[in-house]
Amino acid sequence: MNTESLGSIFLNAALVNNFVLAYFLGICPFLGVSGKMETATKMGGAVMFVMLISSMSAYGIHAFLVSIDAPFLQLISYIVVIASTVQLVEMFIKKISPALFKSLGIFLPLITTNCAILGVALFQTSKGYGFLESVVYSLGAGAGFMLALVLIAGIREQMNFADVPNISKGTALTLFIAGILSLCFMGFAGLGA
Amino acid sequence: MSNNDSTSKQKVTSTDEFIKGLWRDNPVFVQVLGMCPVLAVSNTAENALAMGLATAFVLLMSNILVSLLRNFVPKQVRIASYILIIATFVTVTDYAIQAISVELHKSLGAFISLIVVNCLILSRAEAFASKNTIGRSILDALGMGFGFTLALFCLGAVREILGNGSIFNIPLFSEGYQSWIVMILPAGGFFTLALWLLIINALQTRKVKS
């Protein structure tokens, strides 16, 4: 049913249709935690992990819901799985590294409402990917999210020293940078095809 | 409904509850919440309006239910139950839109389902509806919902006029108009929102000064 190679699925999700810059998914953490490079990488790692787990679970759930003929439960069960995975990650990080837990702050529980994660689960279902393809797709999407977050964090750290007009400080400036980055990523079009 | 327990003093604040979402605490321009759908489906005015209304509906219904249940839901599981309530109404909306217009459903795509993770709805449930009476929650939801729709429409209209030379699919310019393709593309969404934020910031700084 699907003839895309695994490599092209990965490239597609990570670069060509980058989740942040082309699909606008996961903009809230993108704007929120992209101020510092260090937090950005850790946030990216946490999101990648949650994405992978929830994508695998979503594959199983979808198969089960199809078998009992209840597609309307899809959304509710996906969100429950994502919420519990996030809870798990939160407890894990709190135990392993309290400092990291503190620096991520409110954005850790907010991974639950990160559209990128639910987006991966929904897109892989609508594209009809098999298990292996879903895993590769979620890894690609996670890598793309990480890449976008790290790129913008690097640029924002530099911009701290720039003298910009007062009214454009903060979100507006970040959005301009994101727009330019999004233009750059359009150069990847056709790469995965 | 708010008349049940409202004195004249409370009435003033009730109106205020509604107005604040439209301008002073506008969810998009001031609080910068719920960015994903704002940027993703604002490429035409029609999509933007549909998305705004769908979100407003979910916001209204979930605010009502959260406010009704605020004394029964244990504190520890409140976020999980809010998300379940929201997910239920989103599923309803998803099927309703599919029934009304298949075409619209196609062009909004997965973004209807993604209303679940719109931070705006969860933040209103947590910050407002879980602490206030049902009447005030309805007003708050209506204000925030309209504010959100208004902001989406502002973005969608600008992007469609510049990027497509039309509004609601009605052409505005003569044949010679060279449309700005970039405005329809993702990058255009970032630029348009950034420009609106600049305008709002400039207006507010001037207000503070004077």
- Residue A118 is predicted with a pLDDT of 87
C-alpha span between A156 and A162 (Å, rounded): 10
- Residue A192 is predicted with a pLDDT of 54
Chain A residues whose CB is inside 8 A of the B187 CB are 179-180, 182-183, 186
Instruction: Give the least confident one: A58-62, A189-193, B15-19, B128-132.
Output: A189-193
- For the segment B12-28, the average pLDDT, to the nearest whole number, is 75
Please indicate if any CB of chain B lies within 8 Å of the CB of A32: no
Higher pLDDT, residue A48 or B23? A48
Chain A residues whose CB is inside 8 A of the B122 CB are 113
Decide if B90 contacts B112 (C-beta within 8 A). yes
Q: Which residue of A has its CA nearest to B95?
A: A72
C-alpha span between B93 and B88 (Å, rounded): 9
Residue B113 gets which letter from DSSP?
G
Torsion of CA B39, B45, B47, B53, to 10 degrees: 90
- Residue B63 is predicted with a pLDDT of 92
From B143, B199, B155, select the one nearest B24 (Cα to Cα). B143
- Residue A3 is predicted with a pLDDT of 62
- Residue B5 is predicted with a pLDDT of 39
Decide if A30 contacts A148 (C-beta within 8 A). yes
Per-residue pLDDT of chain A (193 residues; tens, 9 = 90+): 456 788 888 888 888 888 888 888 888 777 777 778 888 888 888 888 888 988 998 898 888 888 888 778 888 888 888 888 888 888 888 888 888 788 777 667 777 777 888 888 888 888 888 888 899 999 999 999 999 989 989 998 888 888 887 777 778 888 888 889 888 888 887 665 4
Q: Domain boundaries in chain A?
A: 7-168
CB-count burial class (<10 Å; 0-12, 13-18, 19+) for A163 = exposed
From B70, B84, B74, select the one nearest B134 (Cα to Cα). B70
From A161, A149, A177, A186, select the one nearest A25 (Cα to Cα). A149
* Mean pLDDT of all residues belonging to chain B: 82
Q: A146 vs chain B: nearest CA distance in angstroms? A: 17
From B163, B165, B184, select the one nearest B176 (Cα to Cα). B165
- For the segment B158-172, the average pLDDT, to the nearest whole number, is 82
Identity of the residue in A27, A167, A183 whose CB atom sits nearest the CB atom of B201: A167
Tokens at B82, concatenated? 């809010």
What's the pLDDT band for B10 if we cut at 50, 70, 90?
A: very low
C-alpha span between A8 and A192 (Å, rounded): 5
Q: Which residue of A has its CA nearest to B187?
A: A179
Decide if A132 contacts A150 (C-beta within 8 A). no
Q: Which of B26, B31, B33, B35 to mutate to test the interface with A (most CBs of A within 10 A)?
A: B35
Judge: A72–B118 Cβ closer than 8 Å, yes or no: no
Decide if B26 contacts B147 (C-beta within 8 A). yes
Decide if A71 contacts A65 (C-beta within 8 A). yes
C-alpha span between B142 and B62 (Å, rounded): 12
Judge: B110–A22 Cβ closer than 8 Å, yes or no: no
The number of C-beta contacts closer than 8 angstroms across A and B is 110
Which amino acid, B96?
Answer: A
> B48-85: per-residue pLDDT in tens?
899 999 999 999 999 999 999 988 888 878 888 888 89
Please indicate if any CB of chain B lies within 8 Å of the CB of A100: no
The percentage of chain B sitting over the pLDDT mark of 90, rounded to a whole number, equals 17
From A69, A133, A152, A75, select the one nearest B190 (Cα to Cα). A152
Interface of A with B in 105-144 (CB under 8 A): 109-110, 112-115, 118-119, 122-123, 126
Helices (H), chain A: 6-11, 27-32, 37-67, 74-96, 98-104, 115-127, 131-159, 171-185
Identity of the residue in A109, A115, A167 whose CB atom sits nearest the CB atom of B36: A115
